[in-house]
Amino acid sequence: MEDIFRQAEDRANTLDDRVSSLSQVLYLMYLARERKASSIAEIGFSIGYSSIAFLESSPSVEVTSFEIHNEAHVKSAKEFIDSRYPDRHHLIYGDSTQTVPAFQVPRSADGFDLIFIDGGHEYACAKADITNARRLAKPGATLVINSLTPWFKWGIGPTTAWEEAVRDEIVTPLEYVSDAFAVSRPQGPAQRAWAVGQYQ
């Protein structure tokens, strides 16, 4: 996984630095493996590091990504992933508040085992992503939401949406992680913090 991370970072691949940390990527890989997830959805693809983590977790995993941008760095990431994991990754372009509710889960599947949300950071978008992704999830599916960093401006929306989902019993919290360490609750000044939960 570390080798792939460094290869994808290589400037020759024209990928930029909008990326999860290596510790977060490894965490996602091991989480997917531990949960025995075979069908994974993510909202927010960017340059594909979380997709790589999930695809590396098992050769049977398939990933569906929802991404609002179709810029060069996104296309480069998609080409890299398709070359390494052919026919295992699907990328849907567009605003997740529209593409996720419009998405039809294939009849051969009954939903996604694991959903990773790291898309729009505005409150309305984060809330919609949590709510809309629930419809695509298998009963009891694992949910991971990134950017629970309300001490930064961009973390206020996801944190508020997550706390409301817990309060409204949409999701049961299982674990919080700040800068790769398990914590009882994310606190600043961590650079990265996320939560793992289970859809009810």
Give per-residue pLDDT as tens, 104-163.
Answer: 987 767 899 999 999 999 999 999 999 999 999 999 999 999 999 999 999 999 999 999
How far from 87 is each of 45, 61, 71, 84, 132, CA to CA, in Å?
17, 11, 22, 10, 25
Q: Which of 69, 111, 108, 107 is nearest to 91 (CA)?
A: 69
The whole-number pLDDT of residue 13 equals 45
For the entire predicted model, the pTM comes to 0.91
Per residue in 25-80, pLDDT (tens digit) is: 999 999 999 999 999 999 999 989 999 999 999 999 999 999 999 988 899 999 99
Which residue type does 69 have?
A: H
Q: Quick one: CATH architecture of 2-199?
A: 3-Layer(aba) Sandwich (3.40)
The whole-number pLDDT of residue 4 equals 56
* 19 has pLDDT over 90: no
